[in-house]
């Protein structure tokens, strides 16, 4: 059996690790504070904080490779892809160059290489202070988006307006900085979401930035948001359909609310979107991995928002597996061990729609009703909960996490809309106020 080394996991890995085992892969894991689910499914588990001590993580990979040769290194986690590319390079195994993996994580570097390649994307500035932000807003005279250089799921992302004063901007900036500082303390079982590496192991000194004090300010683009997942194999790019994304409306933050596939844009526009994605993959320098690309479509304009060197999170793998018969976990593993993989464009077989559960108030999760009933419905593809009773939850924008999501499968988008509207309200979250919460008496 081929031996895979994973750098970090997020969520419960048992399902995909078992599927990979059935396909002839056995798996080891390097992760900070592994949980019971990790120890139950991986053959070997090494408790290491690879972000705090990359030397120790690379030494662990070398020792393991000497004892039990590793055939491929990978990560399905945003915060693990750079370390995985470093470990693959250290062992002489296939994978993206670490600098390409960094470009797919540091949004400033990403914007820079996309602009150099002539690919449409938002105007952007690197900022560190509220005064710099005010100056940029005045110069652009349009709403702009302040975001951390790294991270995922729109954590810490907020919209700013030219009429916002210095005090308002400074309060927003401090709130994002506080969120980043507190993330590690509030999520001790996970690696630091916003981590970026120091120089070395393929990373140049000029590409080193501190995510806690350097931010990206970019122009806000109108239009409809879409995402494309796929894979690149030695320069050959395969795209697995296009997903349309709806974010929470009428707010200054950017949490996603719904996703559906296929889009309502039509096949001609989807083909143009995929052509832009291929150019973006090449510009970033990705050569062998899965990818997740987010774009905005406004009339004839197609602009790239972001691209990540990993599979899309949450519902996306399930969408692709059910509608395109592609197991993106398996494809990522095959790429990691050096197999040649290329998928001709497939036809979307049916329709799916997903909606996140977003806290309506802050407090302690006291309980959830309706889960078993809804999960048993044959039209449900996934019902995933991210929090357990007793956990503290924060209403946006105090926090940017989801309670979970519900995903349904149907023969058409109209049918999927109706099924989601029927089942979604049946899952009911009970959140009790906690002393000290802003909404508590």
- Residue 178's domain is classified under what CATH number? 3.30.1490.20
Contact 231, 341 (CB under 8 A): yes
Domains held by the chain: number? 4
**Co-location of 239 and 340 in the same domain:** yes
Residues 387 and 398 in one domain: yes
User: Where residue 87 sits, what CATH number does that domain have?
Assistant: 3.40.50.20
Walk along the chain (441 residues) and give the pLDDT tens digit of each residue: 999 999 998 888 999 999 999 999 999 999 998 999 999 999 999 999 999 899 999 999 999 999 999 999 999 888 899 999 999 999 999 999 999 999 999 999 999 999 999 999 999 999 999 999 999 998 888 889 899 999 776 677 888 888 888 999 999 888 888 888 887 777 766 778 889 999 999 999 999 999 888 999 998 888 999 999 999 999 899 999 899 999 887 666 667 899 999 999 999 999 999 999 999 999 999 999 999 999 999 999 999 999 999 999 889 999 999 999 999 999 999 999 999 998 887 888 999 999 999 998 999 999 999 999 999 999 999 999 989 899 998 887 777 678 999 999 999 999 999 999 999 999 999 999 876 555 543
Same-domain check for residues 229 and 330: yes
Residue 235 lies in a domain: yes
Which one of 47, 77, 93 terminates a domain?
Answer: 93
Is 205 part of a structural domain of the chain? yes
Whether residues 370 and 421 share a domain: the answer is yes
Residue at 379 is within a domain: yes
390 and 413 in a single domain? The answer is yes
Task: Please tell me whether residues 322 and 250 are part of one structural domain.
Answer: yes
Give the residue from 303, 322, 349 where a domain finishes: 349
134 in any annotated domain: yes
Residues 164, 253 share a domain: no
Residue whose entry in the numeric block shows the structure tokens 């202070």: 129
Position 437 in a domain: no
> Rounded CA gap, 384 and 406, in Å?
7
Does 87 lie in the same domain as 110? no
Residue 31 belongs to domain spanning: 2-93
Query: The whole model's pTM is what?
Result: 0.90
Mark whether 426 and 395 lie in a shared domain: yes
Q: 261 with 374, same domain?
A: no
Indicate the residue among 294, 324, 349 that finishes a domain.
349
Shared domain check, 113 and 211? no
Are 210 and 175 contained in the same domain?
yes
Residue 361 is assigned to a structural domain of this protein: yes
- Flag whether 439 is in a domain: no
In a domain, 344, yes or no: yes
């Amino acid at each position: 059996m081929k031996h895979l080394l994973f750098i970090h996991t997020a969520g419960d890995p048992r399902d995909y690790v078992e599927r990979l085992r059935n396909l002839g892969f056995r798996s080891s894991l390097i992760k900070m504070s592994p949980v019971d689910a990790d120890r139950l499914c991986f053959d070997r588990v090494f408790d290491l904080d690879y972000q705090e001590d990359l030397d120790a993580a690379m030494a662990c990979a070398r020792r393991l490779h000497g004892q039990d040769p590793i055939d491929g290194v990978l990560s399905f986690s945003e915060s693990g892809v750079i370390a995985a590319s470093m470990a693959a390079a250290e062992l002489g195994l296939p994978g993206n160059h670490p600098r390409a993996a960094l470009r797919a994580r540091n949004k400033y570097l990403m914007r820079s290489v996309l602009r150099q390649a002539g690919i449409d994307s938002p105007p952007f500035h690197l900022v560190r202070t509220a005064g710099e932000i005010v100056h940029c807003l005045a110069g652009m005279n349009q709403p702009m988006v302040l975001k951390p250089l790294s991270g995922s799921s729109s954590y810490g992302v907020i919209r700013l307006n030219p009429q916002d004063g210095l005090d308002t901007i400074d309060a927003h900036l401090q709130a994002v900085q506080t969120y980043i500082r507190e993330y590690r303390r509030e999520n001790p079982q996970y690696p630091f979401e916003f981590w970026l590496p120091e120089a070395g192991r393929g990373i140049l000194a000029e590409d080193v930035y501190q995510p806690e004090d350097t931010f990206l300010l970019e122009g806000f683009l109108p239009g409809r948001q879409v995402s494309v997942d796929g894979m690149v194999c030695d320069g050959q790019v395969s795209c697995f359909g296009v997903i349309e994304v709806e974010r929470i409306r009428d707010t200054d933050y950017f949490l996603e609310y719904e996703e559906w596939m296929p889009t309502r844009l039509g096949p001609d526009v989807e083909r143009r979107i995929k052509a832009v994605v291929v150019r973006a993959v090449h510009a970033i320098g990705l050569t062998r991995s899965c990818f997740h690309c987010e774009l905005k479509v406004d009339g004839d304009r197609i602009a790239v928002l972001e691209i990540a060197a990993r599979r899309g999170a949450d519902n996306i793998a399930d969408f692709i597996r059910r509608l395109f018969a592609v197991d993106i976990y398996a494809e990522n593993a095959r790429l990691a061990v050096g197999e040649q993989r290329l998928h001709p464009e497939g036809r979307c077989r049916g329709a799916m729609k997903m909606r996140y559960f977003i806290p309506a108030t802050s407090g302690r999760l006291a309980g959830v009703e309706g889960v078993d009933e809804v999960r048993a419905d044959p039209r449900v593809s996934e019902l995933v909960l991210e929090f357990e009773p007793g956990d503290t939850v924060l209403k946006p924008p105090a926090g940017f996490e989801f309670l979970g999501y519900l995903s349904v499968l149907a023969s058409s988008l109209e049918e999927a809309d109706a099924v989601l509207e029927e089942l979604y309200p049946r899952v009911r979250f009970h959140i009790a106020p906690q002393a000290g919460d802003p909404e508590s008496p």
